Amino acid sequence: MSCSLLQRASILKMDQATIAAIATPTGSSGIGIIKISGEDSISIAASIFRRSGFLSDESGQPSLFLTLHEKSHQIFYGHIVDPKRDIVLDEVLLSVMLAPRSYTRENIVEINAHSGAVVLNAVLELVLQQGARLAEPGEFTKRAFLNGRIDLTQAEAVIDIINAKTTQALEFATNQIKGGLRKSIEAVLNSLNDIIIEVDAAIDFPDEVGEIFDKETLQEKLQTSVAEPLSDLIERYKRTKMLKNGIKTVIVGRPNVGKSSLMNCLIKKDRVIVSEIPGTTRDFIEEVGLIKNIPIVFTDTAGLHDTDDRVETIGINKTYEYIESAELVLFVVDMSDSLTEEDHQIYKKIEYKKKILVMNKSDLVSETFLMDIPSQWETIDRVKTSALFNRGIDEIENKILDTAIQDPEGVYNISSISPNLRHKDAVERSLNAVSTAIAGIADELSLALVAIDLKEAVGALEEVTGSSVKGDVLDQIFSRFCIGK
Amino acid sequence: MTSLQKPYDIIVVGAGHAGCEAALAAARMGCCVLLLAIDLDKVASMPCSPSIGGMAKGQLVKEIDALGGEMAKISDKTAIHYKTLNTKKGPAVRSSRTQNDKARYHMAMKAVIERQPNLDLKQAMVDNLIVEGNKIVGIMDQTGFGFQAKAVILATGTFLSGLIHIGINSIKAGRAGEFASYGLPENLKALGFKLGRMKTGTPPRLKKTTIDFTKFVQQELDPSPIPISFFTETIPLPQVPSYIGYTNKISHGIVRDNLRHSALYGGIIKGISARYCPSFEDKIVKFPNKDRHQIILEPEGLDTDEIYASGLGNSFPMEVQIEFVRSVEGLEDAEIMRPAYAIEYDYVNPIQLKPNLETKLISGLFMAGQINGTSGYEEAAAQGIWAGINAARKIQEMRSFILDRSEAYMGVMIDDLVTRGTREPYRMFTSRAEYRLMLREDNADLRLFEKGYELGLINKDALTDVKTRKRQITKEIERIKGVVIKPSQAANEYLTHRGASLINNGIYLDQLLKRVELDYDAVDHLAKSPAPISPKVAQQVEIEIKYEGYIKRQLKEIDRFKNLERVKVSDNFDFGKVHGLSNELKEKLSSVRPSSLGQASRIDGITPAALSVLMIALKKFET
């Protein structure tokens, strides 16, 4: 158990430099935070900060340093000033959190700047000039972890917060750091330990406990209080993964049916070159669009058709690979034209995928026009669109959510507990071990072996919480069973 | 110090189960050893239950045996009842237990000690340790007579400030009827050791002729008992049964009504008692809903009428004990020959010891047995042989002899003791061992004979025997894995006979052997080995094949475990200077001084984060 933690930890290096970074996502928001952590963070801040209402004399700096030192966890209002050029960069709020009462357990200064990315970067640069080093991604969390401030589950949740692309994913991450995931895993761990206690008691105290041991009850308990909650966690992972990484959606169709225009509508940007020369899209363009805050990764592909052009052939083969890995295929056809052999060829490639039939160029036909499609296509979800006039896009979006995630409302309700890949891996290993144990009990396998499976299940879960909640099994045995000479 | 007395290499203080093994091991390793007992008539006495072995303890006894210790051999010489526990829960957790003739056990052990070259047995009560600088140089007895030695092993059992309680009466004694040692604990405190207080107890002994055995269920005798020791050929003594009965609501009422008169609940006892060994008062208070508790009546020997009434331990005054005992069906007329009593005694928290059981404070001073806060003859004996070996190794300027948690129950116990210390009497359980599938009774010789031989405690013949067997085991497993059993009529007839499902296609014999219904007998019937296979070899082959998957998994875990054990902490590493550790952990680590990162990981309160910080600090320190 702890071995794997150590292997993980061995990657982590400890250096004591003061580090700084912009702690908020760049771009959209109007406010940004620069975080500085380490021994020198306060002196660095003091050298570039002017408190409002205080004189900006040179000799005042040490006293500002002392003030910041004395008033941990308070907010100061003032300006960031480039000391060399004496230029005010921004109006800011500054707060100091002295070690160890901070996120990293080091001295932390946070500068809340009110301006956009350009100014934020200028302030960061100033901080770096004063002696800080740019933090590596996740380094604050790494320090928090190495300094014992947070356990592994929390550390990774923080990284997830940093990476969260959507508000929904942010909520997940926030809940996880509160220990939502840990709580549910700890609940399973408690049940498992409970069962191990009974097994060990039966083994170590054959006279006193062995005789009252009941295998059926044990199996039942393992199933309901361990195996089922673990399966549930794995299910949650699968759904959450979609929310975090986006639903992989590939747009396919023969050349010039309007795939690129459709993609532009879906991502609401003009990024893909739209032209009327078939075969324009040879490179693959991935763009993320949000549908109800769920990221959808759209891939526009080369038009699929027979060609001798070598470059284009490569592109077409690549498209088939994309189709393989996609969660959803948007199959685009031209409503104004009858279906061709190429359309049928493409259909064969996507027959077994989740798909939506997009009948594009509806502006070129009458409202009542019915496209002639093969009977086997009848069951596919269909949408009429006109990418040119931005029609039918809402309908596609709803269908995408409905088709890719069977229960889009359900996804919003996975409020707190969502494992990440590492967690899922551990939970899966744990579930496997529990399943082996359940089967072992049924096969009358000796209890000592069943205990090995159960302990393996515990070990895997403890990798998620990052700490051993083993407690003293013996403690529990003695409080539950009357044992003695 | 007088010159009348020759100097010794090692003095062992106390001749109980720990002291005897310690003295014998050290003497056999070539040291000149003095073994001191307060009363020579009590050498290797069994002050509590008349039995050796039991769950996990049986494994310890086999390990002691495999390192050339004496306990298993004496046990076989004096056993009057054999039992194998957990026969249905798998070979890993099978344990042997014997009931022994106490007087014969004492005499047999004393005889071995008296005949052992290099070993003197003498009667004396030690009052003071003689220390120069931080080095032990000898001891002084209560008369002021001194002995010189390069190392001293304290194996004083419950004798340090021993205080017996029967009701509100307290008697200073190491055991009933024996002097306690009040000088030595004072001396230990003065030397800087931290002492704690523990409590244990023993049930009453009843007169056989006053018991109505028809009211009890007789425990059947094992028709073909297997000796405990790897070296025993025959079991000399006749076998006698034991008896099981139960207490009842009336007995429980008597206990409840008299709680305030017991030493335990009358507020007299301050020491911490073991939860697995509760006094009857405890059982009533902690498990009020149970309306009966099991008792076992075991004879204390062939030539005595004393019966050990297991399950009736208490600290009541005599009048209550008599009423309580006689409330049990079949004991209505029972006469108590020796009353039950509770005893409190001082112990030295073993966190003050190094993994070789030498004290951190004084070089050359070792401790073993109940003084370290353990309970049980077997736990004591295991520490005894460990301390004896290591004291001898120290004098001979050799590396400490340490078995780790993957090698032996002994290793688990010592590691637990020196890493985590103990507040209640520590007893061995199989659940304390992470790798218990590998630490079986049946392979203790395969695990440890070679180590015993290297120490000079196991002879060449035994070593050769084990090496030959290991070869045979490997060879036979290889053979079985290559044999295909065809679905012949004979094969299927055999399978039907064993209640196993039939085969339609050829199947490898090892796959067949993995079936729950089958054992090595199947190999003999379906594809007998051309070379003779002894039962011992057959047993190992069967276990290794049947549990192959689980064994492989445990081996993998052991590998990972060893990786951490291999990250050693040098003696001059300063835990107080590790950046990023809380002060509490710094203190804890400084006091335990783990010798490896693995040991550090087992200290209470160590978080993974702290461990990675420590690992990083260790790496920095090494470079």
**What are the structural domains of chain A?**
16-149 (3.30.1360.120), 180-239+418-480 (1.20.120.430), 249-410 (3.40.50.300)
Compute the average pLDDT of residues B230-248: 95
Chain A CB contacts of B406 below 8 Å: none
Q: Could B580 and A13 be called an inter-chain contact, meaning their C-beta atoms sit closer than 8 Å?
A: no
State the SS3 of chain A. Answer: CHHHHHHHHHHCCCCCCCEEEECCCCCCCCCEEEEEECCCHHHHHHHHEEECCCCCCCCHHHHHHHHHHHCCCCEEEEEEEECCCCEEEEEEEEEEECCCCCCCCCCEEEEEECCCHHHHHHHHHHHHHCCCEECCCCHHHHHHHHCCCCCHHHHHHHHHHHHCCCHHHHHHHHHHHCCHHHHHHHHHHHHHHHHHHHHHHHHHCCCCCHHHCCHHHHHHHHHHHHHHHHHHHHHHHHHHHHHHHCEEEEEECCCCCCHHHHHHHHHCCCCCCCCCCCCCCCCCEEEEEEECCEEEEEEECCCCCCCCCHHHHHHHHHHHHHHHHCCEEEEEEECCCCCCHHHHHHHHHHCCCCEEEEEECHHHCCCCCCCCCCHHHCCCEEEECECCCCECHHHHHHHHHHHHCCCHHHHHHCCCCCCCHHHHHHHHHHHHHHHHHHHHHHCCCCHHHHHHHHHHHHHHHHHHHCCCCCCCHHHHHHHHCCCCC
* H/E stretch holding B550: helix B548-566
- Tell me B224's DSSP state: S
CA distance A422 to A185: 14
Task: Please check the confidence at residue B263 and state whether its pLDDT lies above 60.
Answer: yes
Chain B CB contacts of A449 below 8 Å: 90, 92, 437, 547, 550
Q: Could B616 and A12 be called an inter-chain contact, meaning their C-beta atoms sit closer than 8 Å?
A: yes
The candidate with the shortest Cα–Cα distance to B136, out of B470, B391, B514, is B391
* Structural tokens at position B100: 């022994």
Place of tokens 């008992």: B225
* Lowest-pLDDT choice from A417-426, B143-152, B206-215: A417-426
CATH code for B205-344? 2.40.30.260
Q: What is the pLDDT of residue B318?
A: 95
Q: What is the pLDDT of residue B324?
A: 96
Counting beta carbons within 10 angstroms of the beta carbon of residue A51, is it exposed (0 to 12), middle (13 to 18) or buried (19 or more)?
middle
Q: What is the pLDDT of residue A11?
A: 31
Q: Phi and psi for A166 in degrees, rounded to 5?
A: -130, 160
Q: Taking a C-beta distance cutoff of 8 angstroms, is the pair B510, B546 a contact?
A: no
- By C-alpha distance, the chain B residue nearest A211 is B86
Q: Give bridge partners of residue A295 from the DSSP assignment.
A: A290
* Lowest-pLDDT choice from A358-367, B364-373, B574-583: B574-583
Q: How far is CA B440 from CA B66, B90, B513, B555, in A?
A: 12, 10, 20, 14
Place of tokens 């086997």: A376
Q: What is the pLDDT of residue A126?
A: 86
Q: Which SS3 state, helix, strand or coil, does residue B414 take?
A: helix
Within 10 angstroms of residue A184's Cβ, the number of other Cβ atoms is 19
The vertex-B211 CA angle with B205 and B217, nearest 5°, equals 100
Q: Which SS3 state, helix, strand or coil, does residue B218 take?
A: strand
Q: Which SS3 state, helix, strand or coil, does residue B575 take?
A: helix
- By C-alpha distance, the chain B residue nearest A213 is B89
Shortest distance, CA A248 to any CA of chain B (angstroms): 37
**Paired sense of beta strands B146-154 and B135-141, if any:** antiparallel
CA distance B477 to B426: 39
Distance of CA A318 to the CA centre of its chain: 27
Which residues lie below 8 Å from residue B377, measured CB to CB, with a gap of 6+? B16, B17, B46, B52, B57, B71
CA distance B523 to B39: 56
Q: Give bridge partners of residue B163 from the DSSP assignment.
A: B172, B344
Radius of gyration of the CA atoms of chain A, in A: 30
Q: Could B561 and A204 be called an inter-chain contact, meaning their C-beta atoms sit closer than 8 Å?
A: no
B460-550 matches B567-622 in fold: no
Shortest distance, CA A286 to any CA of chain B (angstroms): 39
Compute the average pLDDT of residues B208-226: 93
Q: What is the pLDDT of residue A469?
A: 44
pLDDT tens-place string over residues B425-447: 999 999 899 999 999 999 999 99
CA distance B258 to B252: 10
The candidate with the shortest Cα–Cα distance to B290, out of B342, B246, B243, is B246
* Lowest-pLDDT choice from A79-83, B11-15, B208-212, B409-413: A79-83
Q: Give bridge partners of residue B35 from the DSSP assignment.
A: B12, B121
Place of tokens 């000690």: B113
Is-cis flag, bond preceding B236, omega within 30?
A: no
- By C-alpha distance, the chain A residue nearest B550 is A449
The candidate with the shortest Cα–Cα distance to B296, out of A165, A208, A67, is A208
Q: In a mutagenesis test of the B interface, which of A106, A209, A447, A485 is the best target, namely the one with the most B β-carbons within 10 Å?
A: A485
pLDDT (tens, 9 = 90+) of chain A, 485 residues, equals 333 333 333 333 335 788 888 887 654 455 788 999 998 999 999 999 988 766 555 444 557 777 887 888 989 988 898 887 777 878 899 999 998 899 888 999 999 987 666 677 778 888 888 888 877 666 787 677 667 676 656 655 555 554 444 444 445 544 554 466 778 888 899 899 889 888 888 888 887 766 566 888 889 999 999 999 999 888 877 776 666 667 788 888 888 888 888 888 887 755 454 445 555 555 566 677 777 767 777 887 766 666 777 767 777 777 777 788 788 899 999 999 889 988 998 898 888 888 999 999 988 888 888 888 888 888 888 999 998 888 888 898 888 887 776 655 554 444 445 565 557 777 888 999 999 999 988 888 888 899 999 999 998 888 777 555 444 565 666 566 655 54
Within 10 angstroms of residue B362's Cβ, the number of other Cβ atoms is 20
Q: Could A485 and B597 be called an inter-chain contact, meaning their C-beta atoms sit closer than 8 Å?
A: no
Which residues lie below 8 Å from residue A446, measured CB to CB, with a gap of 6+? B88, B89, B90, B91, B92, B93
Q: Taking a C-beta distance cutoff of 8 angstroms, is the pair B171, B162 a contact?
A: no
Q: What is the pLDDT of residue A168?
A: 47
* Lowest-pLDDT choice from B195-199, B275-279, B398-402: B275-279
Q: Which CATH architecture has domain B567-622?
A: Orthogonal Bundle (1.10)
User: At how many degrees (to 10) do helices B409-420 and B377-395 cross?
Assistant: 80
Chain A CB contacts of B543 below 8 Å: none
Chain B CB contacts of A208 below 8 Å: 294
* H/E stretch holding B273: strand B272-273
Which residues lie below 8 Å from residue A306, measured CB to CB, with a gap of 6+? A342
- Residue in A152, A206, A443 closest to B608 by CB: A152
CA terminus-to-terminus distance, chain B: 49
Assigned fold of B8-158+346-455: FAD/NAD(P)-binding domain (3.50.50)
* Lowest-pLDDT choice from A76-85, B129-138, B326-335, B362-371: A76-85
Q: What is the pLDDT of residue A435?
A: 95
Q: Taking a C-beta distance cutoff of 8 angstroms, is the pair B386, B151 a contact?
A: no
CA distance A274 to A265: 12
- By C-alpha distance, the chain A residue nearest B283 is A482
CA distance A17 to A41: 10
Domain boundaries defined on chain B? 8-158+346-455, 205-344, 460-550, 567-622
CA distance B580 to B308: 56
CA distance A422 to A461: 11
| Per-position b or e across A110-130, b if 16+ CB within 10 A of its CB | bbbbebeeebbebbbebbbeb
Q: Phi and psi for B10 in degrees, rounded to 5?
A: -140, 135
Chain A CB contacts of B580 below 8 Å: 14, 105, 146-148
Chain B CB contacts of A8 below 8 Å: 612
Q: Which SS3 state, helix, strand or coil, does residue B48 take?
A: coil
Q: Which CATH architecture has domain B460-550?
A: Orthogonal Bundle (1.10)
Q: Could A485 and B282 be called an inter-chain contact, meaning their C-beta atoms sit closer than 8 Å?
A: no
Q: Could A482 and B278 be called an inter-chain contact, meaning their C-beta atoms sit closer than 8 Å?
A: yes
Tell me how long chain A is. 485
Q: Could B561 and A3 be called an inter-chain contact, meaning their C-beta atoms sit closer than 8 Å?
A: yes
* H/E stretch holding B365: strand B365-367
- By C-alpha distance, the chain A residue nearest B581 is A147
Q: Could A484 and B580 be called an inter-chain contact, meaning their C-beta atoms sit closer than 8 Å?
A: no
Q: Could B89 and A5 be called an inter-chain contact, meaning their C-beta atoms sit closer than 8 Å?
A: no
Instruction: Dihedral sign for Cα A70, A73, A74, A80, please.
Output: positive
